[in-house]
């Protein structure tokens, strides 16, 4: 199994201890036991981030329990998750290759890329949604706006300064910013950065009027007083920021979308196996101790049936399609 270094290694050991304490008969997911008789289950990750590895570790025990096999986590980063997606497409439909994929892979990429080499509807078998996360609008501590309506009013009075930054063009925060713009008529100018860090630096310094990102990425700076979150997405306030109202609460009901990550198998995998995997993962993410660990990592655990995940995919594709078209962004 790939072992992350430094802080990632400490996270690895912590999560392994947490899982093995909660689930009996899943030691192969966290130990070095070798199973020469049966090939391990591979859980693919399309992005080389520590958080994704941590989430995969949290559910690897339940996958091993359902499959009766050891589990390895295989990172295949690059091309906005498409390399891992193609690996899943080319895998055997026997449940031994799974993909923990964020919303960008099954929903946004098909709307953005003209030459996509996988079809999430035809090539993927939904297993379960694992987690959700909110999007948020933030300004610098010195900005006069303290609510979303105040920010809208400010932008209309300062059109030349009405900008919003994101971690990159074609990202989910980019499209969420377009959603805000369409709902408010603010004519915000998108400022794409090469990653969240430089965007956040300019946001704290007031070089951009606002920043749009996941609540996960913004909450620590908000709590430290280095930025001010004005609103979050979602039907209800996030448990991560209970004092921050949603867009809906502030009269912007159409500004509503959440990000998520879900587990997929190869299309054609037998349904009884899919159902067994789904039930095992759902049971795990709903355990109180696992739920607390997810929340500590900045996301909210969910757990769905395969049919519910398929319905979420369809609904979010319909939600995001007009926003992506309005952005004018396309990629090869």
Residue range 266-287, pLDDT digits in tens: 999 999 999 999 999 999 999 9
Report the predicted TM-score, pTM, of the whole model to 2 decimal places.
Answer: 0.86
2 occurs within a structural domain: no
Answer for the pair 140, 228: CB distance below 8 angstroms, yes or no: yes
Please say which residue of 199, 230, 250 terminates a domain. Answer: 250
29 occurs within a structural domain: yes
**169 and 124 in one domain?**
no
Q: For residue 66, which phi and psi values (nearest 5 degrees)?
A: -70, -35
Secondary structure class of 247 (helix, strand, coil): coil
Q: What pLDDT does residue 50 have? A: 87
222 occurs within a structural domain: yes
Q: What is the mean pLDDT of the chain?
A: 90
Q: What pLDDT does residue 49 have? A: 84
Please say which residue of 250, 282, 300 terminates a domain. Answer: 250
Give mean pLDDT, residues 137-163: 97
Closest to 76 measured CA to CA, from 101, 51, 94, 58: 101
In sequence order, the β-bridge partners of residue 124 are 266
Closest to 216 measured CA to CA, from 284, 299, 323, 325: 299
Residue 30 above 80 pLDDT?
Answer: no
Number of domains in the chain: 2
**98 and 80 in one domain?**
yes
For residue 252, give the DSSP letter. -
Q: Tokens in use for 178?
A: 């377009």
Q: Tokens in use for 201?
A: 């630096």
For 231-257, letters b (16+ CB in 10 Å) and e give bbbbeebbebbeebbbbbbbebeebbb
Q: What pLDDT does residue 38 have? A: 77
Residue 25 above 70 pLDDT?
Answer: no
Tokens 């909210």 sit on residue? 300
Give mean pLDDT, residues 45-62: 93
Q: State which residues form the domain around 109.
A: 7-132+258-327
Q: How far apart are CA 102 and CA 316, in angstroms?
A: 13
């Amino acid at each position: 199994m790939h072992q992350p270094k430094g802080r990632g290694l400490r996270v690895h050991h912590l999560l392994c201890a947490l899982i093995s304490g909660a689930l009996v008969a899943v030691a192969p997911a966290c130990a070095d036991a070798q199973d020469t008789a049966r090939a391990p289950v591979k859980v693919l990750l399309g992005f080389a981030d520590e958080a994704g590895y941590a989430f995969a570790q949290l559910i690897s025990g339940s996958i091993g329990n359902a499959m009766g096999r050891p589990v390895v986590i295989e990172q295949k980063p690059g091309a906005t998750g498409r390399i891992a997606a193609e690996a899943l497409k080319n895998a055997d439909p026997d449940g031994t290759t799974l993909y923990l994929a964020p919303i960008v892979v099954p929903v946004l990429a098909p709307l953005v890329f003209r030459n996509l080499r996988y079809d999430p509807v035809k090539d993927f078998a939904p297993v379960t949604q694992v987690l959700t996360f909110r999007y948020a609008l933030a300004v610098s501590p010195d900005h006069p706006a303290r609510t979303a309506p105040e920010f809208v009013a400010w932008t209309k009075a300062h059109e030349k300064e009405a900008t919003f930054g994101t971690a990159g063009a074609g990202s989910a925060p980019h499209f969420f910013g377009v959603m805000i713009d369409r709902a408010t008529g603010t004519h915000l100018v998108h400022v794409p950065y090469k990653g969240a860090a430089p965007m956040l630096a300019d946001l704290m310094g007031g070089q951009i009027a606002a920043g749009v990102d996941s609540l996960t990425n913004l909450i620590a700076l908000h709590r430290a007083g280095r930025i001010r979150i004005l609103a979050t997405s979602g039907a209800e306030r996030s448990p991560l920021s209970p004092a921050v109202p949603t867009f809906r609460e502030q009269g912007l009901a159409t500004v509503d979308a959440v990000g998520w990550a879900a587990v997929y198998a190869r299309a054609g995998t037998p349904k009884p196996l899919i159902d067994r995997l789904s039930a095992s993962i759902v049971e795990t993410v709903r355990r109180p101790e696992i739920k607390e660990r997810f929340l500590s990592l900045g996301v909210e655990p969910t757990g769905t049936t395969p049919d519910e995940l398929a319905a979420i995919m369809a609904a979010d594709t319909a939600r995001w399609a007009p926003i992506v078209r309005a952005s004018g962004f396309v990629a090869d």
